Amino acid sequence: MTKLSLNWLRQKLGMNKVLTFTGGIHPDDMKKRTERKKIEDFEPKGELVFPLGQHIGAPAKVCVSVGDRVLAGQKVGEADSFVSANIHSSVSGTVVAIEERPHPSGNKVMSVVIENDGLDEWHPGMKKYTFDEVTPQEIINAVREAGIVGMGGAAFPTHVKLSPPEGKKIKYVIINGAECEPYLTSDHREMLENPDEIIAGLKLTMKLFGLTEGYIAIETNKPDAIKVMTEHANREKDFKIKVVAVKTKYPQGSEKHLIKAVTGLSVPSGKLPMDVGAMVNNIDSCAAIARAVFDGKPLTRRIVTVSGDAVENPKNFRVPIGTSFSQLIEACGGLKKPTSKLIMGGPMMGMALSSADVPVIKGSSALLAFSEEMVPERTEKSCLRCGKCVAGCPMNLLPNMLKEAVCANDLEKLSKLNIMDCIQCGSCTYVCPAEQNPLRYIRTGKTKIREASK
Amino acid sequence: MAIEKLKEKLTVSESPHIRSGQTTQGIMLDVVIALIPALIAGVLIFGYRAAVLAAVCVSASVIFEWLWCKIVKKPSSVGDFSAVVTGLLLALNLPVTMPFWMAIIGALFAIVVVKQFFGGVGHNFMNPALAARAFLLTSWAQPMTTWVAPFSKVSLFGNADAVSMATPLSIIKEGGGELPSYMDMFLGKIGGCVGEVSTLALLLGAIYLLAKRVIDLKIPASYILTTAVMVFVFGGDEGLFSGDVLRHLLSGGLVLAAFFMATDYVTTPYTPKGQIIFGIGCGLLTSIIRLWGGYPEGASYSILLMNVMAPLIDRFTVPKKFGFVYSAKGGKKDA
């Protein structure tokens, strides 16, 4: 309550310029290397691999057979349950295999393999609408048909987000331009180069929920993006689109923390953003909504930042989904240092790859190549009780105590310490001067709790 | 497809993949660097024996740490520099005339009894240097409270023909002498322990620690503010609200204690709210001892007492988790 009224007071006083949450950390953002580099269209060669599981939910079902010729934008995997997403080919070519292939997660996943014929012939695509004629249900159908998911990394199907159950009224639509992970500049470049599509996507979402007010939240380390988006937002007559500057702090782009910063509302523990009437959407996903509705184009491209200290020439690419990461590394002039770690996504929450020969999927915001220096051997030292993990935890948990409780296998204490509220942002591990990894223990603890409750 | 310079075996570890770069060793080294101005001031004011005393305390602490690890067959923790910090803090908390053998016993007490008996770095429940100071004060009260005037010549064996002098705090408490000027107190031209006299030097070090984010202002600010308020309200000769705040802040070990010893990670609360409570507690106890207690100075005892309270403070100041909601009835409820 006090926090809420404080926020109200700040707004009354006009002090709501830079908004944020409590806790969090300030890593070096490392964005200088790619933030001025225009997005380049990438043309893949050879085989493209489309895993049928690229999203949260059930994997898609294959709807082509080996030997078929497919066009760009043609559906190759069909969602067969509500929480799932369609998969489309991003190139024209021939289906050469339907088999298990290595997935960025490290597992082998059933995938459709397509040999690119380089002709880039497009499927006629879906029905195209104009803004005035499209109905809310048609927007949801188009999003579902286009296979749009949250492209920040989690890849949660967007049509599910857009269809809240009866009785849940969405009042705040927030487009997430925080991009708080170091190195990443894909959303930043998208905002600079495609502001119209983002605004169009936001307007569609607002129309869907019957709103006239919407938000675009951008971290203060992207002043040019704030400027461009504000200019475009101010051109809208019928819709009030507010571009809000949020503090440059990790994890500012976390859904719950962005809602907190923009609206002052806290999503209650264990609840969803829709429970406070909010919906957060990724920049690229938002633009994809506009492309699906107005151009009838499914989700087949995404923007990938290729960076890291070992990359010769870091760049931003618009990449057809299914392209192998190794081709992206080569397009950046290869590696300049012996590389011992490849990461899909940001350095805080991204996934370490076991090979470069895995495909770009819908949630791949970046590929980072780190040299040996960035991946030193670490030995855990004694906890100093410095409290940096406690101060840094955006969920206000006690990572040090959680670690102790996991070591003691004390499940009751783990629940008392609210272990399931952890969003696994890694802030505790990042700040620990004793080089401990509380998050590793917390993950173990979460698994134990899940197993115990079975 | 083989990519040049891509290792055949990639490191596949869980996120996060980057670290802040701050390490235990780095933090301890920063504390040592931050204490150097105070040590230099001590040497300038009390002569070269201050430097020798510091060398004795530091090397004794390091040797005891190394020996103990050797004896109990555990990996040596000398490399983390925490013993250097303890030794240096101990030296800065002693009068310049302190006999070396007593200082060595102090180091033994700090490292072996207070720190290693409880499990080494991170496990001690009291600040080792302060506990050793308290131990020495009860064991050898006279050498621990012999103060020499600034710039008097102190020989290596300490029992010099130096001019003895009372500290400003004991003058306030017991009378007998003229109080030095504020400027002399700020620069350190007063009697006292080696490292506590020069507020200027201590503040330089404190700024360094704040800039390097080794410490933050929660504990020092709440400690000093509480002391200031208490002294202002109760410390005056002319009734309430007439205390000489500046004199109290500039004298004794308050600044050294607030920035360098009350901020010791191991023995203070880890919750943000707890740290403020800890600072306020230290301030209350320090001013109570100074104003009404038997000793002229209370900084070290107040921190030691609060050290013991730290785990309890942590228990009662657990932050409310994000998204915590109060139910309509006012009771707490996990949503």
- pLDDT confidence tier of residue A126, bands split at 50, 70 and 90: confident
Residue B104 lies in a domain: yes
pLDDT in tens, B302-328: 999 999 999 999 999 999 999 887 654
Q: Which amino acid is at B62?
A: V
Cβ contact A387–B320 (<8 Å):
no
Residue B272 lies in a domain: yes
Q: Give the model's pLDDT for residue A12.
A: 57
| pLDDT tops 80 at residue B174 | no
Closest-CA distance of chain B to residue A286, Å: 27
How many CB atoms are closer than 10 A to CB A313? 14
Counting one residue from A and one from B, how many pairs have CB atoms under 8 Å apart? 191
Q: Give the model's pLDDT for residue A1.
A: 43
What mean pLDDT is predicted for residues B275-287? 97
pLDDT in tens, A344-357: 999 999 999 999 99
Q: What is the mean pLDDT of chain B?
A: 90
- pLDDT confidence tier of residue B156, bands split at 50, 70 and 90: confident
> Is B330 within 8 Å of chain A by CB?
no
Neighboring chain A residues of B79 at a CB cutoff of 8 Å: none
Domains of chain A in sequence order: 17-34+127-295 (3.40.50.11540), 388-452 (no CATH)
| pLDDT tops 90 at residue A130 | yes
- To test the contact with chain A by mutation, choose from B76, B121, B322, B325 the residue with the greatest count of A C-beta atoms within 10 A, namely B322
How far apart CA B166 and CA B171 sit, in angstroms, is: 6
Contact (Cβ atoms closer than 8 angstroms) between residue A149 and residue A158: yes
> Is A325 within 8 Å of chain B by CB?
no
Q: Give the model's pLDDT for residue A10.
A: 57
Cis peptide before A251 (omega within 30 of 0): yes
Q: Give the model's pLDDT for residue B87.
A: 97
Taking CA atoms, A297 is separated from A117, A206, A289, B104, in Å, by 20, 20, 9, 79
Cβ contact B18–A27 (<8 Å):
yes
Q: Which residues of A215-242 are buried (b: 16+ CB within 10 A; e: fewer)?
A: bbbbbebbeebbebbbebbeeeeeeebe
Cβ contact B10–A324 (<8 Å):
no
Cβ contact A348–B18 (<8 Å):
yes
Q: Which amino acid is at A278?
A: A
Residue B237 lies in a domain: yes
- pLDDT confidence tier of residue B332, bands split at 50, 70 and 90: very low
Residue B8 lies in a domain: no
> Is B21 within 8 Å of chain A by CB?
no
Q: Give the model's pLDDT for residue A13.
A: 56
Among A39-43, A342-346, A356-360, B149-153, the minimum mean pLDDT is found in B149-153
| pLDDT tops 90 at residue B277 | yes
Phi, psi of A93 (to 5 degrees): 165, -160
Helices B128-139 and B299-316 meet at what angle, rounded to 10?
140
CB proximity under 8 Å: A 333-362 to B: 334-343, 347-357
Cβ contact A266–B318 (<8 Å):
no
| pLDDT tops 70 at residue A59 | yes
CB proximity under 8 Å: A 195-254 to B: none
The token pair at A51 is 């895993």
Q: Give the model's pLDDT for residue A8.
A: 58
Higher pLDDT: A365 or B163? It is: A365
Q: What is the mean pLDDT of chain A?
A: 92
Higher pLDDT: B330 or A386? It is: A386
Cβ contact A390–B80 (<8 Å):
no
HSE-CB of A416 using CA atoms within 13 angstroms: 9
Q: Give the model's pLDDT for residue A11.
A: 54
What mean pLDDT is predicted for residues B80-105? 95
The token pair at A453 is 């409750």
Which three-class secondary structure string do you get for chain A? CHHHHHHHHHHHCCCCCEECCCCCECCCCCCCCCCCCCEEECCCCCEEEEECCCCCCCCCEECCCCCCEECECCEEEECCCCCCCCEECCCCEEEEEEEEEECCCCCEEEEEEEEECCCCCECCCCCCCCCCCCCHHHHHHHHHHCCCECCCCCCCEHHHHHCCCCCCCCCEEEEEECCCCCCCCHHHHHHHHCHHHHHHHHHHHHHHHCCCEEEEEEECCCHHHHHHHHHHHHCCCCCEEEEEEECCCECCCCHHHHHHHHHCCCCCCCCCHHHHCEEEEEHHHHHHHHHHHHHCCCCCEEEEEEECCCECCCEEEEEECCCEHHHHHHHCCCECCCEEEEEECCCCCCEEECCCCCECCCCCCEEEEEEHHHCCCCCCCCCCCCCHHHHHCCCCCCHHHHHHHHHCCCHHHHHHCCHHHCCCCCHHHHHCCCCCCHHHHHHHHHHHHHHHCC
> Is A93 within 8 Å of chain B by CB?
no
Cβ contact A352–B275 (<8 Å):
no
Contact (Cβ atoms closer than 8 angstroms) between residue A364 and residue A104: yes
Phi, psi of B317 (to 5 degrees): -125, 30
| pLDDT tops 70 at residue B96 | yes
- Going by DSSP bridges, is the β-strand pair B325-326/B332-333 parallel, antiparallel, or unpaired? antiparallel
- pLDDT confidence tier of residue B330, bands split at 50, 70 and 90: very low
| pLDDT tops 70 at residue A162 | yes
Most confident of A50-59, A116-125, B51-60: B51-60
Higher pLDDT: A5 or B228? It is: B228
Q: What is the DSSP letter of B181?
A: P
pLDDT in tens, A194-237: 999 999 999 999 999 999 999 999 999 999 999 999 999 999 98
- pLDDT confidence tier of residue B297, bands split at 50, 70 and 90: confident
Question: Could you say which of B14, B16, B321 has the minimum Cβ distance to residue A397?
Answer: B321
Question: Could you say which of A329, A349, A394 has the minimum Cβ distance to residue B322?
Answer: A394
Neighboring chain A residues of B17 at a CB cutoff of 8 Å: 341, 343, 347-348, 350, 352, 368, 370, 374-375
The DSSP element (H or E) to which B138 belongs, if any, is helix B128-139
Number of residues in chain B: 335
The token pair at A142 is 């188009």
Neighboring chain B residues of A257 at a CB cutoff of 8 Å: 322
pLDDT in tens, B52-70: 999 999 999 999 999 999 9
- pLDDT confidence tier of residue B301, bands split at 50, 70 and 90: very high
Residue B63 lies in a domain: yes
Cβ contact A270–B269 (<8 Å):
no
Cβ contact A386–B270 (<8 Å):
yes
Neighboring chain A residues of B123 at a CB cutoff of 8 Å: 382
Cβ contact B5–A337 (<8 Å):
yes
> Is B79 within 8 Å of chain A by CB?
no
Contact (Cβ atoms closer than 8 angstroms) between residue B47 and residue B154: yes
pLDDT in tens, B229-247: 999 999 888 888 888 899 8
Q: Give the model's pLDDT for residue A15.
A: 52
| Number of domains, chain B | 1
How many CB atoms are closer than 10 A to CB A436? 22
Q: Give the model's pLDDT for residue B151.
A: 86
How far apart CA A250 and CA A427 sit, in angstroms, is: 8
Residue B285 lies in a domain: yes
**B238 Cβ contact list (under 8 Å, min separation 6):** none
Cβ contact B5–A334 (<8 Å):
yes
Q: Give the model's pLDDT for residue B150.
A: 87
Q: Give the model's pLDDT for residue B335.
A: 37
Q: What ipTM is given for this predicted complex?
A: 0.90
Domain containing B277 equals 24-316
How far apart CA B151 and CA B44 sit, in angstroms, is: 8
Share of chain A above pLDDT 70, in %: 96
| DSSP SS3 for B166 | coil
Residue B274 lies in a domain: yes
Question: Could you say which of A182, A268, A430 has the minimum Cβ distance to residue B335?
Answer: A268
Residue B283 lies in a domain: yes
Q: What is the DSSP letter of B300?
A: H
Cβ contact A182–B18 (<8 Å):
yes
∠ CA A29-A31-A33, rounded to 5°: 140
Neighboring chain A residues of B10 at a CB cutoff of 8 Å: 339-342, 352-355
Nearest chain A residue to B275 by CA: give it. Answer: A387
> Is A443 within 8 Å of chain B by CB?
yes
Q: Give the model's pLDDT for residue B287.
A: 94
How many CB atoms are closer than 10 A to CB A331? 18
